[in-house]
Amino acid sequence: MTRSGHNSFNVALRQELDIYASVVLIKNIPGYETRHKNVDFAIIRENTEGEYSGLEHQSVEGVVESLKIITRAKSERIAKFAYAFALANNRKKVTCVHKANIMKLADGLFRNTVKKVGEDYPTIENNDMIVDNASMQCVSRPQQFDVMVLPNLYGSILSNIGAGLVGGAGVVPGCNMGREVSLFEPGCRHVGLDIKGKHQANPTALLLSGSMMLRHLGLDEHANRISKAVYDVIADGKVRTRDMGGNSTTEEFTRSILDTLERNG
Amino acid sequence: MREIFKADNVPIEWEQIDVSGVESGDVNSDALFRESIASLKRNKIGLKGMNDAMGSRSKVSQSQVSYTPR
């Protein structure tokens, strides 16, 4: 199970460095048609607790307990991050996604804490939605979402649904923010073992994540030039990797971006 | 990635750590993990991706950057 090994590396990294907020941007790429138009929302996911506490044990043979941890402190921290993100990025609404009708204590604490934090941000609209309904709404009318804030596992699932809306794991950038460290990486963390070594991988998500990193460093001009070159190549439509319906290799796509960078000057 | 950053003369120095060994249960996985943590703590920022996307043989790479002022 190499996948789980990779995941636990990620989990360990996030917990060790306390990179507590995952940010994934779900937005249509100009020139790349998908079923839904005008999709533009951000997913803010709690990255360090919830179902990913790593606390599992078998009490007796055939009975496993897996502990999901929700704390007021960490719920408050991610809620503040989500609202501050909304303010800073001129977004209007924060939707808290939960399952408080079933996990009354754990998700109830998350929902109530997010709601309370929201009171300090009166200009930002807020609502909450049960995770199963949110998943359905996401695939039927995704335009209603602006910023979503979620506990760990729901965040992972909705990030993947969101990626599916706009072109898949190969095109969605993301970052993980902590108190001190910021780690940028493609939005849904697929290893892509199925296309390993086939030179079919789409570097778009990584390049856009890199471009987000440059903005974070204040290198906006570099960020804009690089992301523009990526978007130009995709919009042009002649050179695309397999996941986007083309037959170009990773290297051909990269070459085309380099050429476009040079042409754009 | 690095090729594209270089083409745009991005003022960044990379510190690359290949963590594919961690995933496959490499004997050095502990050391690689600690090195990644140390690098991220030192540089405060990092970019992590699949090396496959860059046409290399290993599965996951992790690169950290240190920021060189313009």
Per-residue confidence (pLDDT) for residue A193, from 0 to 100: 63
Confidence of residue A223 (pLDDT cuts 50, 70, 90): very high
Enumerate residues 6+ apart whose C-beta is below 8 A from A245.
none
Predicted structure pTM score: 0.87
ipTM greater than 0.85, yes or no? no
Taken in order B10, B12, B13, B16, the sign of the CA dihedral is: negative
pLDDT tens digits for range A74-98: 999 999 999 999 999 999 999 999 9
Tell me the chain B residues in contact with residue A228 when contact means C-beta distances shorter than 8 Å: none
How many Å lie between the alpha carbon of B13 and the closest alpha carbon of chain A? 12
pLDDT at B16: 84
Give residue A119's identity as a one-letter amino acid code. Answer: E
Region B47-69 average pLDDT: 43
**CB proximity under 8 Å: B 8-47 to A:** 8-12, 19, 22-25, 33, 36-37, 40-41, 44-47
Identify the DSSP state of B27: T
Q: How many CA atoms lie within 13 A of A92 on its CB side?
A: 4
Averaged pLDDT for residues B39-58? 64
